[in-house]
Structure 1
Amino acid sequence: MTADLASVFQPATPAMIIGHSVSDGVPPLGLSEPFALLGGDRLGPAGIPFLVGHEWQPAFLHSVRTACDDLVAAGRPWFRMAPALLAGPAGAGRSHAARSLARAAGVLHIFLNLSDPVIGASISGSTDMSEALWVSPIVTAMAATRCANPVVSVIGADVNADAAVALASMVDPVLGRAWMEERIGTVVDLGEVTWLIQADAPERLPAPLADKLATIPIQSVPLHERSEIMVSLLAEVLADLDISPADPAVRWQDIVKRCQSSRSAGGDEPRFRNLRPGWWAGSWHSPRDTYDQLRTAVLEAQYDAAAARLGGAGDSH
């Protein structure tokens, strides 16, 4: 009975309507229905600030903690962080940080690549219908998941000035509340989105965008088998593959040995051709490429475990 009463009095998930038609019609994609505002149950010290990890990126972790503290103080029971520029070299782990944040908050993560001509045309409002999408990728993803406060990683803003200027309106705390999706005649509220911008050449970001971004330095850190970032990358791989960390086929030392074997293979097999010699021997290697190598090792471990089970089943007959 106590458990039943507790379930009745669970706090409701806050929600908001993000789409409003500029005409008398109903917005498509269900945009006029309530979308969830998530992460409010994780704002405390044992929630998002703990789950995101990233002690090796102190500036990023400080920004996350500050955002959570501010939300609690303001009585806003969902996650959102002010727009920020993740400043650091390519491959330093900027996307990993953003994805880890979204996973810790329990919200959707979206990649927005403005260097893609089709995506860029959609964001910049190109009048050439053949170049642009029907609806921007952000709104499409939000509609598909019914999430009103995703984390959005933006790349390519430093190479597409027109799209970057349009992006400045999307991240603006006032203008972003009324982003116009011209092709569906709908005003969309993007005010609860967390924008994390990556730029390999931040000096090329247009001033209207750059002036709206807080800068969070993401530093290059060495990777080795006992570093926290390696464990974090493996956790990301397992989450993406929907594999439980408790799966007996995924043992850290086994994954390490598989990666070492891949390195020593020297590219003799197609699956090892993208591995850099010496990557596990203490030399710097990017989180981006290491993610791919860990993913390959995990998939191999899963394949070998499945093959062993099938072989055992065959022997039993």
Structure 2
Amino acid sequence: MHSFDAAALSSAHPWTSELVAHLSADAAMLARCGRKGFSFRPLLVHGCRSDVRHRAFFGALADAVGLGISVFAPGDALKQAWRARPEGREIGIFEDVERWPREALEAIEADLRSGWPDDRLPVFVAGRENDVPARIASLLASAPMGDAYEHPSAFRRLVGAEAAAALVRELSVSDTRRPLVEAALLALFASPGCPMDPVEMRALGLRALTDIEDWTDVDAFRGYVERRAALGGGAVRASTIVVREIGGANDSRGIVDIYAPLTRPLPLGGGHLDPGAIAAELMDEMPWFRHAIARLENDLRIAHFAERPYLKFRPLLLVGPAGVGKSRFARRLAQIAGVGYRYLNAGGKSSGADFVGNGRSHEAPTPCAPAEAIFRSRFANPIMFIDEIDKAAKNLAAGKLEDALLAVLEPETARRYYDECLQSDIDLFYVNYMLAANDRMNINDIMRSRVSVETVEKPPSDAFPQIARSVMKEVAIDYGLDASAMPGPTEFKTAEYEFKAGRSIREIKRIMIDQLPRILGSRDGAAFAAPALEAAE
């Protein structure tokens, strides 16, 4: 058999369309050259890690063309298991080839140069094309694996099928009951409320198999997530694992133990809120951000339609004069959505090194800024706010901040970002980026092409009530106060006067916080002595 049903494979695995086209053309070319049976040239598949996507695709391809399949991980390299000849023709998958030891790569290179045996068709899998040594990459054909998250329904089916099969194996289900259990689990995992992380799917599957007595009732499994939430069991929150394993080499500082939480499922926040509700609250507090709010609401609605139950928006650049509340806007969005927040000031001498962190050889090893934001907030989708990006230093020996940012703004590289401190790849795809600048012309064209640019004007003179209410909500959250008991706009006459005189929102917030103890103290009938503040009145 020389060919396969390319349309069927592309339909079942829509993120492999380019890969399918390459394999079809390669197989046809080799058949015309006289190669017997289905075949393709040694292949490098990039853009994916060791996960279900490529295993499922090549497993389906092997079934379609009547071949076997073997999978070799980096741990198999020194055992030389991959050098043993197979009993019949098969597809051999070499996972994470960039992590294979030098000795194994040299042996692979020698086999490629001498002519790879036709009984094992090799597929080398890597996160990025340039991660593979050039001398080996030059001997391979190359094709990308697309972004599975652009096809949520198909990806959910694929991950669900893998999770169901794994649970059946784990529970040692008998052959007679296996179809019954698999059908129940597939119905459960197809539910819109089900998480897409395999670890979370496993936990949910075990819970459902325990709670539901009649495993023949497929509808009971299909509605299990929604019923459990309605009964107070809590909705299953979307989550993901951002680091599969932290490297242990040179770990004299205990990095593996400190950052171990990154290797466990972390929640993806913001999915409990309707995009319209988020936009309405922001508009009520900061209507002069209406263009940016409209952009955010549009992005969040697209994510909602794509069944992504978490806060995720395209990188956003806010351009406007100082003091209009750009950083406060980002922080309020994080507070409303209930996700983490990290502030980074790019002004002055900030360099790429400030963003990418320090390796373990450094006196103070630290992960990259987005990884720190995830670690501190314990959310996989925090908001990274980078202020004064137009004032970031240029031509620094330590690297430009703009260059460092480009690697995380691209979804493909963000999914597999290598962190020197963690000595591992980290998935930064879910992190939300909001940048601020006073002048967009000081930002290079490449950076501007990666972000949505929205202009922010100064708030109008009659906007003080919205500003005052927003500031008090923020202060209540920061200090753990009752938001309903905070003073209203009419109690901050001095702040209102200063605002109308042209003071920035940053200054207005400082004045209001200075006045707050006296206002709260007077309500309680307490004598609050603050002569310095009264003098300022």
Normalized against structure 1, the TM-score is what?
0.79
Match of 2:32 in 1: none
**Structure 1 pair 125–234 and aligned structure 2 pair: CA distance change class (3 A):** closer
Residue type matched to 2:393 in 1? N
Q: In structure 2, how many angstroms separate the alpha carbons of the residues matched to 1:257 and 1:4?
A: 50
Q: Residues 211 and 35 from structure 1, CA distance in 2 versus in 1: closer, same or farther, beyond 3 angstroms?
A: same
Aligned to 1:284: 502
Match of 1:296 among 514, 520, 523: 514
Q: Which range moves more in the overlay, 124-133 or 103-112?
A: 124-133
Amino acid at match of 1:184: L
Q: Does 1:31 align with 2:262?
A: yes
**Maintained 8 Å contact 1:35/1:148:** yes
The letter of the residue matching 1:160 is A
Match for residue 52 of structure 1 among 275, 278, 282? 282
CA distance in 2, matches of 1:23, 1:4: 38
User: CA contact under 8 A between 1:93 and 1:218: conserved in structure 2?
Assistant: no
**Contact 1:86–1:198, Cα closer than 8 Å, also in 2:** yes
Summarize the Cα distance change of 1:306–1:22 in structure 2 as closer, same or farther, 3 Å threshold. same
Give the equivalent residue in structure 2 for 1:250.
487
Secondary structure in structure 1 of the residue aligned to 2:411 = coil
State the one-letter code of the partner of 1:279. E
CA separation of 1:77/1:124 partners in 2, compared to 1, >3 Å: closer, same or farther?
closer
Q: Greater shift after overlay, 108-117 or 142-151?
A: 108-117
2:374 corresponding residue in structure 1: 142
Q: After superposition, what is the alpha-carbon deviation per residue over 1:181-224, rounded to whole angstroms, capped at 9, x for unaligned?
A: 10220211111111111122322223332210110111111344
Q: Give the C-alpha shift of residue 170 in structure 1.
A: 1.3
Q: Which of these residues, 169, 185, 193, is aligned with residue 431 of structure 2?
A: 193
CA positional deviation for 1:98: 0.9
Cα distance between partner residues in 2 of 1:57 and 1:160: 28
Q: Name the CA distance, whole Å, in 2 between partners of 1:84 and 1:44.
A: 16
Q: Which residue matches 2:245?
A: 21
- Structure 1 position 307, deviation (Å): 7.2
- Rg bigger for which structure? 2
2:139 aligned partner: none
Which letter maps to 1:301? I
Question: Percent identity of the aligned residues?
Answer: 21
Structure 1 residue 178 displacement after superposition: 1.7
**What value does the CA root-mean-square deviation take over the aligned residues?**
3.1
Deviation per residue, 1:1-20 (Å, 9 max, x gap): xx998344532111001113
- Tell which deviates more after alignment, 48-57 or 123-132: 123-132
Question: Is 1:210 paired with 2:448?
Answer: yes
Q: Does 1:12 align with 2:236?
A: yes
Give ranges in structure 1 of 5+ residues lacking alignment: 261-277, 311-317
What does residue range 1-317 of structure 1 map to in structure 2 within 5 Å?
6-21=230-245, 23=247, 28-29=258-259, 30-45=261-276, 47-53=277-283, 54-115=286-347, 120-124=352-356, 133-158=365-390, 159-161=392-394, 162-224=400-462, 227-247=465-485, 250-254=487-491, 256-257=492-493, 259=495, 279-280=498-499, 282-304=500-522, 308=526
**What SS does the aligned partner of 1:308 have?**
coil
Amino acid at match of 2:235: P
Structure 1 SS opposite 2:498 = coil
- Is the alpha carbon distance of 1:179 and 1:115 closer, same or farther for their aligned partners in structure 2, counting shifts above 3 Å? farther
Matches of 1:187 and 1:116 in 2, distance apart? 30
Instruction: Please report the TM-score for the alignment, with normalisation by the length of structure 2.
Output: 0.48
Q: Which amino acid aligns with 1:168?
A: L
Distance 1:117 1:185, change over 3 A: farther
More moved, 129-138 vs 288-297: 129-138
- Report the Cα offset of residue 153 of structure 1: 0.7
What is the identity, as a one-letter code, of the residue corresponding to 2:278? I
* Contact in 1 for aligned 2:360/2:421 (Cα 8 Å): no
The count of aligned residue pairs is 288
